[in-house]
Amino acid sequence: MPPHPRASCTGLNSVLGSNTHSAQGVCPAFSGQVPLHRVNHQHPRCYGRLSRSRATSSPSYLEIVKMAWRSSGTSNAELVENMWRNGLLKNAEVKEAFLKVDRAHYAPSFPYDDSPQPIGHAATISAPHMHASAVEHLLPYVRPTDESGPRPAPRVLDIGSGSGYLTHVLAELVGPRGLVVGVEHIVELRDLGEKNVGKSERGRELLRGGRVRFRVGDGRKGWVEPGEEGSKWDAIHVGAAAAEVHPPLLEQLNSPGRMFIPVDDEGGWSQHVWCIDKDAEGKVTQKKLFGVRYVPLTDAPRH
Ligand code: SAH
């Protein structure tokens, strides 16, 4: 039985305000087996980072909420600048990508608040600081790769694409030879993501060129793109909390590759984001990042 991540990792990474993405909590290599524990479907919707316990010196929940408010703006540019100033966005390439994608095309209400917003079907567009953290963690694996390699590259999978916002941001980063596939288990949300990307000329260009694609499927099984069987994913983003690191996701992760995935903690009452790396030799290591609240990665609702 492999150790549960919580048992083998030390400490949380940062919460709002200290978005260091440090190597804190690095785990020893693990066997490639995945933690399996109970599913919790009780979290309704709240997709930001959570504070650590009161015993630590990290910000309280109230401070986190205040920081999120401080990052809110009246335009996309202002939201991005505020996140930059508050240290919630640290990488200039990622900042550039965020500036290119207007969140108003994706969030039906309060698009420039640093908070999650409902998008229908019990789903939510995650808070901008959460998206920033996800992209910054995945960045080394979503940058354009060298011209001589096979196409498409890099290949990025966005599971639970919802509004399509992050799928679009990732597509801005992968470059002209790259591919980003958003997978949704609700057809209407697959369509919503595509529709939202199509609201801008730039988005339409990305769709036309096939750099961004939206698919319907159960993200727990990963995704095999027709005509690209056998190709692995350089980066996998999971936008909903998984009961475990589902084996097909780990199997479909490239060597090297990285996965950013929120996973229910043992007992199912809380969740943490895990950064899972597969190195060039296929060795898997995992790093526990921070506590979060995401909607669960589930079966599709029955109509
Ligand atoms: N990244 C999205 C987050 C949407 S919320 C955004 O910021 O807009 C999480 C999404 O995961 C929901 O859209 C939900 O429909 C989807 N989801 C949940 N379980 C899934 C599954 N098994 N397969 C694919 N998508 C799933």
> In this predicted model, what pLDDT tens digit does every residue of 209-221 receive, in sequence order?
999 999 999 999 9
pLDDT at residue 58, rounded to an integer: 53
pLDDT at residue 14, rounded to an integer: 28
Pocket test of ligand 1: the residue of 39, 45, 186 to mutate, having most ligand atoms within 8 Å of its CB, is 186
Q: State whether the beta carbon of 298 lies less than 6 angstroms from ligand 1.
A: yes
Q: State whether the beta carbon of 152 lies less than 6 angstroms from ligand 1.
A: no
pLDDT at residue 63, rounded to an integer: 63
8 included as an active-site residue = no
- Residue 222 CA to residue 224 CA, distance in Å, equals 7
Dihedral of CA atoms 183, 233, 138, 184 in degrees, nearest 10, equals 0
CA atoms within 13 A on the CB side of 122: 14
pLDDT at residue 52, rounded to an integer: 39
Say which residues have a Cβ less than 8 Å from residue 109's Cβ, sequence separation at least 6: 117, 118
Helix (H, G, I), strand (E, B) or coil at 141: helix
pLDDT at residue 151, rounded to an integer: 86
Q: Which residue, 242, 200, 216, 46, is CA-closest to 125?
A: 46
The model's pLDDT over 85-108, given as tens digits with 9 standing for 90+, comes to 999 999 999 999 999 999 999 999
The model's pLDDT over 153-180, given as tens digits with 9 standing for 90+, comes to 999 999 999 999 999 999 999 999 999 9
Q: Which residue, 134, 123, 258, 91, is CA-closest to 190?
A: 123
- Residue 201 CA to residue 207 CA, distance in Å, equals 10
Q: List the catalytic residue out of 14, 71, 115, 126.
A: 126
- Residue 42 CA to residue 54 CA, distance in Å, equals 23
pLDDT at residue 24, rounded to an integer: 27
Stretches where the chain sits below pLDDT 50 are: 1-47, 50-57
Ligand 1 atom at minimum distance from 220 CA: 22
Instruction: Find the distance separating the first CA and the last CA of the chain, reported in whole Å.
Output: 37
Task: Give the pair of three-digit tokens for residue 240.
Answer: 């909903």
